[in-house]
Every structure is written in C-alpha cells, then in structure tokens.
Amino acid sequence: MFAVAWSRLANLAHRLHERRARARCGRRERPVRALAASLLLLAGAPAFALLDGSVDGTQLLQGAVVAVADGPSFPAVPAPVQAVTLPDEWAKSRPGFQGALWYRAEMDHSPKAGAPQELQALYIARACSNYEVHLNGQLVASGGRMREPVAHQCNHPQLVNLPAALLVPGRNEIDIKLVGHRLAEVGSAHRAGGLSALVVGPLAVLAPHHARQTALAVGFAQGASATLLLLGGFMFVLGYVNRRESQLAYFGAVSVGLAIFDARLWLRDLPVSHHVVEFMLLVLLAFVTWAAVQFLLRSGGVRLKQADIGLPVQCAVVALSVMAAGPARLHAVALVWYAAFVLEIGFAAVLLLRRHGSPEMRRASAMLLAGAGITVLADATTGVGNSEQVAARLAAAGLPLLVIFIGLRLVMQHGRARREAEALRSQLEQSKMVLEQRVREATQEIERNMRQMTDLKAEQVAERERKRIAADLHDDLGAKLLTIVHTSESDRISTLAREALEEMRLSVRGLTGRPVRLGDAMGDWRAEIVSRLNQAGIEGEWHGPDEAPQMLSSRAYVQTTRILREATSNIIKHSGASHCSITCGTADGDFQLVIQDNGDGIAQQDVDARLDKGHGLASMKNRAKQLQGQCLVESGPGYGTVIRLTLPLDRAAGAS
C-alpha cells in the first residue's frame, strides 16, 4: 500500500515540477508589472492633490503676511511684515534664514442662519520643521517642541480643529508660528523650512482627505519601513548562516539601514539636536551604500580588495568631512556625497552586468541603481510645492518598494533552490513523510474523539447531579415545608412556609433544565399574579395571546417569574394602587411584558436611588440583563408606575 502511495505522490510531484518550469518565464515578468503599476498608482493618487477650495465649502488660503519674531503671539502692528504667496519655500523666499516666522492668513466664516453649525478645521499639507496654530489670538494646536531639539513634522500632514467658540462671523485670523532650518544645514531640500498652502473647511470634508494623505505619506512609508526591517533581518541571518551566500547578508544590511533611515517618520520628537540628526542620516547613507555595493559585487561573484578596504574608510571620511564642513555647509557636502554614492552603486552594477549573465541579477542591479539615483535626486532638490511633494513622496516610496521587490525575488530564488534540493530526496523518505502524516491525522482524530467523549461525559455527570439535587430538594425540603404549611398554628409561619415552598419549586424547575412553552408559562403567571392582586384587594387585568408556541428555557422562566413576583409585591406593599394591568405578547422576536398600576408612583430621583442601592427594582433589572434583555421603570408622583420587560426569545430559549 505504501509503495502505491509513494508512486502516485512521485508522479504528481514530477508533473507539478514540469508545470512550474513551463510557467516560470511568464511569471518572471509579473512582479515587474506589479511594481510598475504600484508606482503609477502612487503617482496618480488623488490623495496627493491639495483641495482647491471649490468643493464642499473649503477655502484655499494662498495669501499671508509674514513677520520675523519668536514671541508667543503674532507681533504687534508696528512690526515689519511681508506679504507672501503660499506655498512659501524658505530656500527661495528668504535664503539663509532659519529660526521662527509668524504667518497670518485670513479666512471668511459665514455660517448659514438656522442651519446646524459644522465643526471647522485647518489642513496643512506640510509645515517644516514644527508649528503652532493660533485662531484669533488663541493657541489651538502645537506640534511639539519649538526650540532645539525641535520636533520634526515635515513629513506629516496636519489637521487642526478650529473651535466654534473662537470663530466669529466674517473675518477670522489664523496665525501660524513656524520654526525651520535653512537649506544649507539640511541634507535634503525636503527638510528645509517652508509652509504649504492652507485649506479651511468642514472637518467632515477635510478629515478623510487628511487620513488619505497621512496613509500614503506616512502610513505607507512606515509599513514599508517595518517590512524592510523584518525582511532585512531575515536576509541578514540567512546570509550569515550560509557564508557562501554572503550577498544575502549585505542585502539584509541595506534593508535594515533603509528602515532605520525612515525611522524619522516614527520618531518626530528626538532628544538630540537637528545637526546631530542630519549628521547621523548622512553617515547612515554611507553605510547603506557600502552594503549595496558589496551586495552587487558579491552577487556577481566579484570580490575587490579595494572595495573591502575603501568602503569602510569612506564611512569614516564622510563623518569627518561633515564635521569639518560644519552645519553651515552640510547641504553642499551632502550633495557631493550623494553623487559619489550613486556613482559607486553604478560602478558595482556595471561589474555585475559584465560578470553575471543572469537576467534576474541584471534586473536587480538596474532597479537598485535607478531607485538610488531617482531617490537621491528627488530628496536633494524637492521643496514644499504640491508637485514637488508628489515627487518627494514617490521617491520615498519607490526605493523601499524596489528593495522589497528585490528581497522577495531573492527569497523566491533561494526557495526554488531549496525546493529543487528537496525534490532529490529518496523514495523511502517520501514514503516515511506520508506515513507520518497519516499517523498524525489518526492521532489528531483520536484526540478529538476523546475530547468529545470527555465533554459529553462531564455534561451527563453535571445533568445527573442537577437532577439529584432537584430531587433531594423536592423530596426532603419540600416535604418538610409542606408539613409546616399544614400543621403550623401561626398564619404568618404558614404563609412564609408556603412562599418558601413556591420558591423552592421554582428553583427545582430551573435545576431540571426542561424548557417551557411560552403559552403555558403565561397561563401560570396569569393564574398566580391575578390571584395575588385580587387577594390584596387590587383589581388585576391580564392581556395576552391565547397561544404562544415559542419555548422558554428553564432559566428564563425562573427569572421572569421572579421579576413578576417582585413587581407584584412592590405594587401590593408600596403603590397604594386599586387597579393593575398586565400586558404580554411577542413582537420582532422579543417577549414583551408591561405591568402598569394606578398607584402613587415614584419620583425619578427615588427610582434612580433604589436602582443604585440594590432594592427590588435593581434586582429586576439585573435579572433581565442576565437574559440579554432589559427592564425599564417609568414612574412619576400621582401617575402610577410602568414596568417594561423585554427579552429576546432566541436567547431566552437557548439560555442554560
């Protein structure tokens, strides 16, 4: 039998292997097309576009006045101001400036008379590096620390709620205090100081736009960073374990380095100064370049002594050159090193293409080189304009996508090699795996059957124990209570014994677990409740259907009976009523019961106090809650009391 099974499995594996080989050429192009489609989707994503102020009551504010000041509010009128057009890029409008600027823009607020007032909000596509927002002189939002180390908000779109209490009809002033850095002191133009155009409008309109912008500009990058970190760690361990495939370890270092580089999207409020952060980012790029060049060289089977020595030395030279140039010339030094990094990666890619004829590695090297070049170019030149933001975000998204794609292809290539090695296993090994699988399945089936038998036995034991307890209560305690009822000379003791006997019988019914037909239950309740009311001199009136085929569980019957008894006792003892109406029935899958008297009623505060202090009203409410229902009490002095009980029949029938 095992020989036949092995033969069938071997034939199936052989056919699958041939089919996979025939389809391999077609599948090679699919990831490339998918990657291109992803980049085109990002390029055309409508979420990157700013609102133009003509939709849904939004206003696009592109004019503002600027004052240079670092105070807690917009400077007084005598202070020199300058009119600017938003977006305002400091590298173009005020080269060499860094510190704090105040922007003042005016918005028109014209609420419609009689219409509900919508909550207004301010959307800022980009405020670099940090901001504060004041509405009519009052602070309404802040991005964090405004002094070194300044919080970094350049990559995060901002949505600020404008409190309705601060808005006035007509002209309103929006003051934005912006703290930023000059272009010379940042490695990327995207991190230089600047403010985008402002959009004011209903929060319901701006919030979805802000959510899309944040998801694409921040959430996507964070997800790619986390993916790179996991993928890079896996590849590094894989390359470290397989020393003959050291290129995998270098690729893992590239992925982890890029993930750390994007950590600024997660850590906006770092405890170190701006200059230290820029220094660390540039040095980190040197390490990423080191790993990328070695990955390309090792993938082509090339090992250059000059690269093994020169690349680590280059990392030290980068750090020394940045320190020697100082913060005032960091951008110029960064541009030089960006060009050097791209040239080094290009040189390694050319060597790989000359030494390695695999189309897989040709595509990998070409994509890595193109991604590095485009990213460096966009990261070094983009500003705060809408089109420039699109380019920056495409560059930020493109390189992680390319690296993830290359990593997945490497993992697939490694997996194919492993599968081909496993395909050479012997017939005995395959038969052993089939046998072990069948043994595991049989063992799991036996374990499932044993668990089911154990659960069933436990349920049967519990059911027998409940019936035994019910029988003992009925035969022993019930008989004694019945004796007290018939032999006691005290009417009070006899009455208490009769009530205890009824309660015991009700508890026994709950223990037996037998469901009750709703029609029979309503007949029992009618006989008991109307009889008690009449004995107390209260006219009882019952309204309900003659037939109700639905079923109630024993628990639902017991709890409902106790609620009815508690309500009846309250009417008899406290209400002073002369008439009581009980209406019951089913509607929309619920059992509904309404008890209404014409008594003195209860003030609402007294109802709340009794619910809080655990009186009978609270017990009725808790019993209904246990059955997934509700018990409502409506009352007022001189208007009587109404108790409304609603129970879902499907849960009441299935409750145990």
DSSP label at residue 94: S
Q: For the chain, give every domain's residue range.
A: 59-109+118-213, 219-414, 517-654
What is the model's pLDDT at position 2?
34
For 374-422, the pLDDT digits (tens) are: 665 555 554 444 445 555 555 566 677 778 877 887 778 777 777 777 7
Report how far residue 527's alpha carbon sits from residue 498's, in angstroms, rounded to the nearest whole number: 16
CA gap 464, 135 in Å, rounded: 73
pTM of the predicted model as reported, rounded to 2 decimal places: 0.56
Asked if residue 251 has pLDDT above 60, the reply is: yes
59-109+118-213 and 517-654 share one fold: no
CA 353 to centroid of chain Cα atoms:
44
Contact 201/51 with Cβ under 8 angstroms?
A: yes
Rounded-to-integer distance, Cα 202 and Cα 104, Å: 20
- For residue range 528-572, what is the model confidence (pLDDT) as tens digits? 888 888 888 888 888 888 787 888 887 788 888 888 888 888 888
Separation between Cα atoms, residue 465 and residue 511, nearest integer Å = 10
C-alpha 375/C-alpha 611 separation (Å) is 67
Helix (H), strand (E), coil (C) string for 393-418: HHHHHHHHHHHHHHHHHHHHHHHHHH
pLDDT tens profile 424-478: 776 667 777 777 788 888 888 888 888 888 777 776 665 666 566 655 555 555 5
Q: For the segment 82-101, what is each residue's pLDDT rounded down to a tens digit? A: 899 999 999 888 888 989 99
Output the pLDDT for position 8: 45
- Give 8-63 pLDDT, tens digit per residue: 434 444 454 445 444 444 444 454 445 444 544 444 444 444 455 556 678 999 99
Strands 120-124 and 198-202: antiparallel
Contact 200, 125 (CB under 8 A): no
With H, G, I as helix, E, B as strand and everything else as coil, classify residue 178: strand
Say which CATH class 517-654 falls into.
alpha beta
Average pLDDT across the chain, whole number: 78
pLDDT, tens digit, for every residue of 474-530? 555 555 555 665 566 666 676 666 666 566 656 655 555 678 888 888 888 888 888
DSSP string, 550-603: -EE-HHHHHHHHHHHHHHHHHIIIII--SEEEEEEEEETTEEEEEEEE-S----
Sheet holding 130-135, edge to edge: 82-85, 63-68, 99-109, 170-180, 130-135, 138-142
Residue 480's pLDDT is 57
Tell me which DSSP letter residue 79 carries: S
Tell me what percent of the residues of the chain surpass a pLDDT of 90.
Answer: 18
pLDDT of residue 409: 78
pLDDT in tens, 121-130: 999 999 988 9
pLDDT interval class at 175 (50, 70, 90):
very high
Q: Who's near 460: CB < 8 A, 6+ residues apart?
A: none
What pLDDT, in 10s, does the model give residues 213-234? 888 878 888 888 888 888 888 8
Which of the given ranges, 496-505, 588-597, 632-641, has the highest pLDDT on average? 588-597
Tokens of 488: 């006691």
In sequence order, which residues have a C-beta less than 8 Å from that of residue 288 and are 6 or more positions away? 253, 254, 257, 258, 261
Which architecture does CATH list for 59-109+118-213? Sandwich (2.60)
